Every structure is written in structure tokens, then in C-alpha cells.
Structure 1
Amino acid sequence: MSWSLSILDKSPIAEGASAHDALRFSVRLAQRAEALGYRRYWIAEHHGAPGLASSAPEIVVSHLLAHTSKIRVGSGGVMLQHYSPFKVAESFRVLASLAPGRVDLGVGKAPGGLPLTTRALQWFHDKQKKPDFAHQLAELDAFLKWGVAEDHPLAGAIALPVPPEAPQRILLGGSPESARLAAQHDWQFCYAGHFNGDEANIGRSLDAYRDATGRTPLLALYAFAAASREEARKHVGALRIFKLQLSTGQSVNLPSPEAAAEFARQTGVSEYRLDELHPHVLAGTADEIRAELDALHARFGIEEFVIDTPVTDYALRLASIERLAGAEIAARV
């Protein structure tokens, strides 16, 4: 096998559908992905997004584990800044006890929503005690193993139960700094190419992780397969991401100029810069996408791609993963 495929699912709510419909389709898609030989199925975390049903990935992960039997299921990822690392460790140790050997704990640094939802999620946080992301990740790593060091204020707290096999730990990021942080704690690293497709940055990030661990990261990217390139591009459309740069130095990726303006308003910042980005999307026939994945494998040594499908129509999403599974099978020969 030269490379394998996995899926990242935001549980988008299609036009005229409900959150119930979206989550029910996620179950159907995960079951089909399992039958087709996909390796993993991840649920993303987003807050305050009317078009997405994935605000609590650990709940959806539990449901998908109960409705599948072989495929790895996990978060892509838990937005760690909002939560107690101890509680995240407990939740995923329970999941790993329910389905040993099948659970992935993916975590990310982003807020996954606008400032008001972040404020609501962190309403009871003691800002004086809240650590930065690197320290949160270190605490989470310690609780997933056994516990924090004896000189830590939480020494003696043990996250239970102890599963037969620990969840696989994956850090999702888009920079060499994130890659090195993953390597520091011996976590797997998944580069978020669907948000930052700059090949130079991809190369630096993958090299940073590979140099530190000797292992190859995963690469997440947008891909959509159709019967023809023209049909694929028609359904994908002009996919855009807007990078908001606040005068405070904070930056965040948002789906529209309106969302960026609202983010700035909720932050209380009037001066900001907005850069329109066009993320790279593999859109075409399954054979064309396979050729692009082969090229990425040859250039960067990627052995596993995590596919985010940038369309909301359920029939089109299902048809795309079925077509891509054919490309994956061909790549294994």
C-alpha cells in the first residue's frame, strides 16, 4: 500500500435538512466508509455554526462507535482551549474502554467558533490559572498516561477508567511549531492542509515532525470526486477562507467576510485586516485525484490522507467517498 484514506466530517446540515438529518447521515457515511476500507472517521468540533451539527464530537464519536465495528473513530479535533484536560482524558478513556483499539483523540488549538461562543464555553474559567495551549497539551498527555508530576497542583488526580488500549493521540496543526509540539509529547501529527495549503509551509512542518520522530505525519485536505472534472468543480464552486488579522495580533480563519466582521465586533476590535485565501481543493475524477495524491505521496512521503469533502449535499458526499475508495483500492495494488 502506498497510502491510505481517512475522512474528516463536520456533519454539515444540507439545504432543507435538520441537525438530526445531518447526524443520521454521518452514521450512514461512517458505515459506508468502513465497508469501503477507509482507515479513520473523524468528527470536527465547531461552535455557533448554524450549518454544522458537530458541536460535541465526543458524543457523536460514541454514537458512531456503536454503529460501526472496525473503522477507527475519533475527534478531528477537540478544541482543547475550552476544556479541562482531565475531563478530556476521562471522556476518551471511557470511549477507548467501550471500543478498545478503535478510538482517536485528535486535539486542536483553534477556538472553533466566534468570541461569544468561546466566552460561553470558558465562562467559569479562572483566567489567572488557565494555561496556554502547550501546557494544556502537556497536562492532557499526562492524564492520558497516568497523572501529572508530583510538583503539579493536581498531582494525585487520576483520569479513569484505564482502557485496554489507550486512544491514539493526534495533534492537528498547520505550522512547524505545532509539529514540534506533537513530537515533544510523542503524539501523531496531522497537518491541516485544508486550511493552509502553502506547500513551503507543509514541507517545513512535515520535516520538523519527521526530523524529530522519524515518523510521517498525516495530511488533511479538501477533495471531491465526481464523474468529470467539470462536474466536480461546479459542485465545489469558488471555495474561500478569510484570514482575519486583528490589531491585537490574533489571527483566525473564517468562512466569510461577514463572519470576520462579526468576530472582530465580538472581540471589541475595530481595526483589522482581511486576507482572502483560496484553499487548494482536489476536485475532479477519482483517477485525477489519485494522481494528485500519488504526487503528494512522492513529494512528502505522506502515507495517510484525511479527506474533508467541501460540499453539503448528502448524495454527492456519499458518491465522492465511494469514487475515492476505488482510487484507494487501485493505489494499493
Structure 2
Amino acid sequence: MSWRISILDKSPVADNETAADALARTLSLAKQAEALGYHRFWIAEHHNTSQLASPSPELLIAWILGQTKQIRVGSGGVMLQHYSPYKVAENFNVLAAIAPGRVDLGVGKAPGGLPLSTRALQQGQHSGEKGSFAEQLTQLNGWLTPSEDELRATPQPAIPAQGFLLGASTESALLAASLNWNFVFAAHLNGDPALLREVITTWRANSARETIVAVQAVVAPTESEAEALAQKVEVWGVELENGQRVTVASEEQAYAFARQAGSEPVRIARRAQSLLAGTAEVVVDRLNTLHETWGIDEFIIDTPMAKGDARVRSLRLLAEAKRAAEVRV
């Protein structure tokens, strides 16, 4: 099998756990991922929620890099709208200097939280100076490029962090291609097959880089257990009168987003599940079918289960089944 698997981790805090428990499991999972042959281990960015313990991917990346040896470690992703592109470049240049050739800078356009946390994160910033997301990403790309200018984002590492734009639209694919960045289609947030086809076709027509897709996957020893776990996973789409469109994890979050944004909802609806659920052999077969259909080179696996032991087991079973399938080929 000529495709790779990687992990997107959100450091979920299960019932009766502390954030320290969740973060310790993230580190343990990263070490296991390296031993199991996963290619990358990425940390998501989420704010103002007691259910996830990962508002600062950069801190966890440094922690994990210091306790692993080979696996690539990165963000999935930094929510660039909140920050100075210059500061993001400095952070990831430091990380790339610590672990040359192992650091990924994944960047996302979403807020990573509800409007109250967005306002708190952006307090003191002049929105008129920030520019569009495309302008911010272009600035970031410039700061990551070695330069002899008087103002540089130092240190300038021998091997810069690899840049990845996370998105679910042809516009995002075209923006990544224009900057010669990698692109990750966020099928774990919007798995519409027609959109997947359109975005991948656009990407292939405009970039020679690999095709990478993020997917949700739930693996268990039996089909019935996997389906039961999958039924607990929700994805909701929110459209507001002010034009905002976001994806959240529950109906409660959807209405909270509208309330905090101060805009009436035009549409709030639960999206049809696009996750892959089943035994490890079934999920590997479905991933291989996606690879053969769309030429996908790598899958970033999001396993959306708060309960730690089930999530760790899911990722272990998937890696073992993929390895076994490769031996049979």
C-alpha cells in the first residue's frame, strides 16, 4: 500500500479526568504512534472548552519533539486569524531548529472556538491592519523564507518547518498552490463526496504536491462496537445572517456560537456522518478504496472519541491492520 497514515490529536478530556490526564495521554499516544509507524502526529488548536486541552499546539509540539526521535510533529493547525504571522514564524523557526526535518506548520482559517474566545485572543489587535486570511498566510510564508533583510523571523533553521494549509474549499486549495504549500482537505469536517472530487481535481490541476486528506475514523474489535461509538460523534454546520459559516461538535455549541456572535442563525443542521467506522480491516479497506479512487497519498486520522482507552485502541488496531495488509500485498 503506497499511502501513509498520520494522527490528528485534540487532547480530549474524558469524564472524571483532568487536563493533565489528557495531556499525558497525548504524549503517550505520540510515542506509540512513532512505534506503530504513523508518519505525523499533529495537535489541534481549540479555545475556551473544558472538553479539550490543546489551546497552544506549539507548547505540546516542543514537549513531544523532546521525547520522540523520528515521527514528524506539528499543528493541525494554528488558527492564524488570531496571531501575528511574524510571531507564528518565530515559534516554528525555533521548533524547526530544535528538531531539524521533523516539524510541520499546519495553518487553519477557522476560529478554533466560539466568538467570545476569538475576541479575547484578538484583543488589542487592529483588525484593519490584519488583512485577509490570504494576505496573512502570504506574510507568514514570507517570514518563513530565509532572508537577509534587516527584519527577519529568527532563528532561521537549516530545515524550515513544512507548511500545510488546512481547508475544505477550492479557494483554500488554490491559495495553498499559489504559495507552493501543502494542502490538507478537511474531510473530517465536511466529507461531501462531490466537494472532495471538486477540491482534489482543483488541487491536482494547480499543484504537483501530494494529496492529503483528513478523515474521521472509529475502529473497534467488532462492527457493532464501532457503530455504537460512531453514533456518539456529531458534526453540526452553522450559517449566520452576518455571513459566518462554521463547523461545531454539537447543537448546543451551534446555538452558543450564534448567541456569542450576535447574529441570527440562518441554518443550523447536523451533517450526515462521513466518518469511517468498523473493524480495523474494514477501515483499512475503505481507506485503500479512497486511495485508489482519488490517488490520496496520506490520511490524517482524527479519532473523535473522548474516552482515552478506546481512542488509543482504535489507532493501534488501525496501524496494525495496515501493516498486516502491506505484508499480504
Counterpart selection for 2:245 from 238, 245, 251: 251
* Residue aligned with 1:316, SS: helix
How does the TM-score come out when normalised to structure 1? 0.95
Q: Distance in 2 between matches of 1:2 and 1:236?
A: 27
- Give distance in 2, aligned partners of 1:165 and 1:141: 14
- For the 8 Å contact 2:238–2:265, the answer to whether it is kept is no
CA distance in 2, matches of 1:179, 1:332: 31
Distance 1:214 1:189 in 2: 11
Q: Tell me if structure 2 keeps the 8 A contact 1:246–1:272.
A: yes
Q: Deviations over 1:190-242 (max 9, x none)?
A: 00000010111111111111111123321100112111110111122242211
Which whole-Å CA distance do the structure 2 matches of 1:185 and 1:270 have between them? 36
| Aligned twin of 2:135 | 135
The DSSP-based 3-state class of the residue aligned with 1:67 is coil
Structure 2 counterpart SS, 1:310: coil
**In structure 2, how many angstroms separate the alpha carbons of the residues matched to 1:59 and 1:278?**
34
Match status 1:37 vs 2:31: no
Letter in 1 for 2:308: Y
Classify the secondary structure of the residue corresponding to 1:129.
Answer: helix
1:193-212 map, 5 Å: 193-212=187-206
- Secondary structure of the 1:323 match is helix
1:96-138 deviation digits (Å, cap 9, x = unpaired): 0000010000000000001110000000111221211000000
1:327 offset after TM fit, Å?
Answer: 2.2
How far residue 299 of structure 1 moved from its aligned partner, in angstroms, is 0.7
Quote the residue 1:152 is aligned against: none
Contact 1:183 1:212 in 2 (8 A): yes
Q: 2:305 aligns with which of 311, 323, 326?
A: 311
- Identify unmatched segments of 5+ residues in structure 2: none
Counterpart AA for 2:319:
A
**Structure 1: gaps (5+ residues):** 149-154
Which residue of the partner structure matches residue 48 of structure 1? 48
SS of aligned partner of 2:201: helix
SS of residue matched to 2:288: helix
In structure 1, what is the equivalent of residue 264 of structure 2?
Answer: 270
Amino acid of the structure 1 residue aligned with 2:223: R
- Partner in structure 1 of residue 287 of structure 2: 293
Corresponding residue for 1:242? 236
Q: Are residues 269 and 163 of structure 1, via their aligned partners in 2, closer, same or farther at CA, if it must alter by over 3 Å?
A: same
CA distance in 2, matches of 1:303, 1:54: 27
Q: Distance in 1 between matches of 2:108 and 2:173?
A: 12
In the alignment, is residue 184 of structure 1 matched against residue 181 of structure 2? no
With over 3 angstroms needed to count, the CA separation of the structure-2 counterparts of 1:139 and 1:147, relative to structure 1, is farther
Q: Secondary structure at the match of 1:94?
A: helix
TM superposition shift of 1:146 = 3.2
- CA displacement 1:254-279 (0-9 Å, x = unmatched): 12222121111111123432122123
How many angstroms does 1:307 deviate by? 0.4
Indicate the SS of the match to 2:23.
helix
Q: Secondary structure at the match of 1:143?
A: helix
Q: 2:159 maps to what in 1? A: 165
Deviation at 1:328, TM superposition (A): 2.1
Equivalences, count? 327
CA-CA distance at 1:322 after TM superposition: 1.1
Verify: 1:282 aligned to 2:279, yes or no. no
What is the 5 A alignment of 1:46-125?
A: 46-125=46-125
8 Å CA contact retained: 2:236, 2:268: yes
CA distance in 1, matches of 2:219, 2:256: 33
